[in-house]
Every structure is written in structure tokens, then in C-alpha cells.
């Protein structure tokens, strides 16, 4: 099942450069993220919090710790079968969230989304016909 998940679920997405870079950022933040809190470094990544051994390791003097710079994080390789030799440290948890949010906003999207409060659904707007319908709907509500 895992190989099917990887091949069918992830491989097609990784063929898109922007998504592949985002997955690297995900790895070093959501899975293996560290951040400063006062004078200490804290783990917030799920991969760290669920592995006592790697949690101890990441807070020791063994791995390399670098400031969280997403342009570098996006192209950083990582091992999946051993402890990470390198972790990125955000100035704070909010700093990490803001940096990821800003990076995600730079990923090109050939569509927009719109929340329809009447149907309580999110609609994908990926052609001019859908945009015209939305504009007409807004126009009728205003006018």
C-alpha cells in the first residue's frame, strides 16, 4: 500500500517544480521543524515529536542547525531512513508559519477559488465562463 501511495499520490505532484519545492519546505517545517522560544530551541515538527530518539538527537550538538530560509530549504536534500543531518530553525513558530504562507503565495496557480456562502462550497474558478458567472452574481447582489 505504501508504494502505491507514493507512486500514485506523490510522484505526479513532484513532477511540478513548484510543488516539489513546497514538499521540501513541508519536510523541514511540518515534519522536522524547529523554532526558537526565548533562549532555547523547541521542536514542533510531527516527525520529531513522534520520535523520541530523533527528538533527543535534533536538540543535541550532533546535527547542523541553520536559520529557516525557505529559498534554501526548498532545494535541500534529506534522508528518509536516518536522522536528519540538518535542521532549519525559525525565529519563532509564528515566523515559520508566516514564511511558509508567504512562500506558498508565490507558487503559480492557474486558477482561483471562491467561497459560495449560499451553497457553502468552495468553487474552483479556472475558466472565463466561471469568472463571468461569479461577476454577474456579485453584480446582482450589489445592484
Active site residues: 5, 10, 31, 50
With a CB cutoff of 8 Å and minimum separation 6, the contacts of 118 are none
Helix residue ranges per DSSP H, the chain: 2-4, 11-14, 17-26, 46-49, 52-58, 70-73, 93-105, 128-142
- Annotated ligand binding at 114? The verdict is no
Binding residues for Fe cation: 5, 10, 31
Binding residues: 5, 10, 31
Amino acid at each position: 500500500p505504501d508504494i502505491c501511495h507514493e507512486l500514485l499520490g506523490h510522484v505526479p505532484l513532484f513532477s511540478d517544480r513548484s510543488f516539489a519545492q513546497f514538499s521540501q519546505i513541508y519536510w523541514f517545517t511540518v515534519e522536522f521543524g524547529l523554532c526558537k522560544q526565548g533562549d532555547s530551541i523547541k521542536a514542533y515538527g510531527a516527525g520529531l515529536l513522534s520520535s523520541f530518539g530523533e527528538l533527543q538527537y535534533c536538540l543535541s550538538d550532533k546535527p547542523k542547525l541553520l536559520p529557516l530560509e525557505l529559498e534554501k530549504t526548498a532545494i535541500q536534500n534529506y534522508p528518509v531512513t536516518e536522522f536528519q543531518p540538518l535542521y532549519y530553525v525559525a525565529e519563532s513558530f509564528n515566523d515559520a508559519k508566516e514564511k511558509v504562507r508567504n512562500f506558498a503565495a508565490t507558487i503559480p496557480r492557474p486558477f482561483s477559488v471562491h467561497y459560495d456562502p449560499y451553497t457553502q462550497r468552495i468553487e474552483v474558478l479556472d475558466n472565463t465562463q466561471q469568472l463571468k458567472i461569479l461577476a454577474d452574481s456579485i453584480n446582482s447582489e450589489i445592484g
